[in-house]
């Protein structure tokens, strides 16, 4: 069965620190990869996505992620976090099997200290 692992459940950083959130998935075939963010009191919204092509994808608000197929990973990065990045971050995988089955990771709560 497919699964998605997010290594850190809680991360606390100071403003201007660099961020990397890990995401690994288990599925041997073609996958579509997503990072979603949930700001306090708001809906989940898409940060970035990868389907094919350049494995380094850029999203909104300065976030980027790198797909490393050999490591089954899709880690999220930001060079310098801001207080407003405090949120919960979810990695999600949709396997290219023709259906709409989507597996989410457990999420990482990021708190950025001002």
Partner 1 sequence: EAQVTQNPRYLITVTGKKLTVTCSQNMNHEYMSWYRQDPGLGLRQIYYSMNVEVTDKGDVPEGYKVSRKEKRNFPLILESPSPNQTSLYFCASSSGIYNEQFFGPGTRLTVL
Residues that bind partner 1 (CB under 8 A): 4, 6, 9, 32, 34, 36, 43-46, 49, 51, 90, 92, 94, 96, 98-107
Q: Considering only CA atoms, which of 47, 61, 52, 114 is closest in space to residue 83? A: 114
Give least dist CB 114 to partner 1, A: 26
For the record, the structure tokens of 66 come out as: 């790198």
Which residues touch 20 (CB under 8 Å, ≥6 apart)? 75, 76, 77
| Cβ 62 to partner 1 shortest distance, Å | 18
Q: To 5 degrees, how large is the angle CA 22–CA 23–CA 27?
A: 155
CB nearer partner 1, residue 7 or residue 49: 49
Q: Least distance (Å) from partner 1 to the CB of residue 19?
A: 19
């Amino acid at each position: 069965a497919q699964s998605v692992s997010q290594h850190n459940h809680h991360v606390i950083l100071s403003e201007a620190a660099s961020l990397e959130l890990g995401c690994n998935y288990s599925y041997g075939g073609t996958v579509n990869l997503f990072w979603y963010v949930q700001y306090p009191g708001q809906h989940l919204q898409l940060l970035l996505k990868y389907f094919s092509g350049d494995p380094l994808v850029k999203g909104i608000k300065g976030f980027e992620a790198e797909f490393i197929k050999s490591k089954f990973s899709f880690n999220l990065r930001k060079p310098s976090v801001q207080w407003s990045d405090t949120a919960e971050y979810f990695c999600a995988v949709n396997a290219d099997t023709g259906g709409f089955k989507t597996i989410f990771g457990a999420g990482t709560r990021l708190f950025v200290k001002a």
